[in-house]
Structure 1
Amino acid sequence: MKASVILKNSREKSLLRRHPWIFSGAVTKIIGSIQPGETVDILSSKGKWLASGAYSPFSQITVRVWTFNPDEDISQEFFHTRLKQAFNSRSLLMKNNNLTACRMVNAESDGLPGLIVDRYTDFLVCQFLSAGTEHWKQEIVASLKSLMPHAEIYERSDADVREKEGLKPCAGVLSGQEPPEFVEIQENDLFFLADIRRGHKTGFYLDQRDNRAALAAYAENAEVLNCFAYTGGFGIYALKYGAAKVTNIDSSADALALCERNIALNDMDIAAVENVESDVFQILRKYR
């Protein structure tokens, strides 16, 4: 029999609005034996079934909801269906925007709390950031292999947030081969080298694609200061849209070196770019 999490009186309001988190302060008691990541039923103070989700005893978010449908079983089939829906929703996006890299699964937005899956050409890079996704990791990887059989699958669950879930950092090959030092990706008509083994997040800030494109309205003939530049994504977009000069600031010499390579990869004028290795907060005081 599945364990149950009982909410305090009137604490189900956010669930009724389909918010997928149950905070520890909303829980009055737990019925049954349950291990981290296992599935629990969420009941109101009057015993009404509200949802089912993944239990996390170490986090302030005690339960992350998998489903609000009482007829939906949390199983291999559940994860395969959610992952397939997410992948299908990105296929047209990638085709229409000339993308070889894209966030394929965006956690709660795709009904899979704590799971990130980013695609870099033929590599899928995963982050399992919650007790629930860690518990179902084997099933999730099996579904990813089924949905994209030719893909190499790599884990980058080395984010600090895992500690709040009682999980240790984890990174390495989940299926296939070790990624190369850099993977070349295309975003619109620009190209970038991404370090998916050691770079920030999963290697590139794929979730900032629309914000980079938004520079088209502002960059022409402008002098652009790109703080926390990382590998130059925003700066390169600014150059594409006609910026007169771009100054990239980052504390990482390695990131700025890759930024230079990305500028060259797109045949842009390096003379219009100044890369500054510095702490942003300190150097901004000098720029005033």
Structure 2
Amino acid sequence: MTTQTPDLAQLTLKPGEEDRLNRGHLWVFSNELTAVPKTIPPGTLAVLSSSKGKTLGVGFFNPNSLIAFRLVAREPRPVDMEFFKERLSSALERRKRWLGDARSFRLCFGESDGLPGLVVDKYEDCLVLEVLSAGIELRLNEVVAALDALLKPRAVYVRNEHPARSLEGLSGPSRTLLGTLPESVVIEEDGLKFLVGLGKGQKTGFYF
């Protein structure tokens, strides 16, 4: 099916390059596109089409990254606060099915939860994020609004130290996005208690 979406950036694959996406892969590399428009800002939402004009999906485009396109949805749709709320709510429900009443866990793991480049770890009533794609960076306010609507967290903090950020052309300091971040929090996993320093330590503070 071909969908006309003139308000979005348009990208086209070279002949034969759609096979991986049709098998479920979520990335397109820059050398698989007929053109990589350098004038389009990193993180722009774009529609991807096959060489025959078939719409393959919508996703985040970054002309400066080897991973030029990260699929977000198979059909064009708005990627706004409600979109993030929907995806994060689904991710939370999946965790509840497996983790029961656990209060600390990885809430979102990027592409696995349909949100390429976003990691969200929940430490009791605090959230620590990693942002690894320009598309998420550009929509960070909407992500935080969705998390606030779903969980009413005490604090939301983003750690911007991951080396993969440089591959997307991202920079900027780690910082608190919402509320007041405590220096540490006690979490429980498998009956064991751990004192986690938020804003420091491995990954987002703990290895879930």
**Same fold? TM cut 0.5:** yes
Larger-gyration structure (1/2)? 1
Does residue 43 of the first structure (1) align with residue 45 of the second (2)? no
- TM-score in terms of structure 2 length: 0.91
Report how many aligned residue pairs link the two structures.
Answer: 202
Does residue 88 of the first structure (1) align with residue 96 of the second (2)? no
CA separation in 2, counterparts of 1:150 and 1:196?
14
- Write out aligned runs for 1:87-166 (5 A): 87-95=92-100, 99-166=102-169
Match of 1:176 in 2: 179
CA separation in 1, counterparts of 2:149 and 2:65?
32
Letter matched to residue 46 of structure 2? V
> In the alignment, which of 30, 33, 36 is matched to residue 27 of structure 1?
33
Structure 1 residues 32, 74: CA separation in 2 closer, same or farther (over 3 Å shift)? Answer: farther
Task: Name the SS of the counterpart of 1:29 in structure 2.
Answer: coil
CA separation in 2, counterparts of 1:23 and 1:31?
13
CA separation in 2, counterparts of 1:42 and 1:125?
32
- Offset of residue 151 of structure 1: 2.9
Cα contact 2:127–2:155 (8 A) shared by 1: yes
Match of 1:260 in 2: none
- Offset of residue 100 of structure 1: 2.8
Q: Stretches of 4+ moved more than 6 A in 1?
A: none
- Write out aligned runs for 1:200-239 (5 A): 200-206=202-208
Aligned-pair Cα RMSD in Å: 1.6
Cα contact 1:154–1:175 (8 A) shared by 2: yes
Q: Which runs of 5+ in 1 are unaligned?
A: 207-288
Match of 1:256 in 2: none
Letter matched to residue 109 of structure 2? N
More helix by share: 1
Identity, in percent, stands at 39
Cα contact 1:3–1:31 (8 A) shared by 2: no
Task: Name the SS of the counterpart of 1:28 in structure 2.
Answer: coil
Q: Which has the higher contact order (CA 8 A, sep 6+)?
A: 2
Structure 1 residues 135, 2: CA separation in 2 closer, same or farther (over 3 Å shift)? Answer: same
Match of 1:76 in 2: 81
Q: After superposition, give the CA deviation of every residue in 1:164-196 in whole Å (9 maximum; x if it has no partner).
A: 00001431111000221x211100111111122
Match of 2:195 in 1: 193
Q: Which runs of 5+ in 2 are unaligned?
A: 1-6
- Offset of residue 77 of structure 1: 1.7
- TM-score in terms of structure 1 length: 0.67
CA separation in 2, counterparts of 1:128 and 1:32?
22
CA separation in 1, counterparts of 2:19 and 2:116?
19
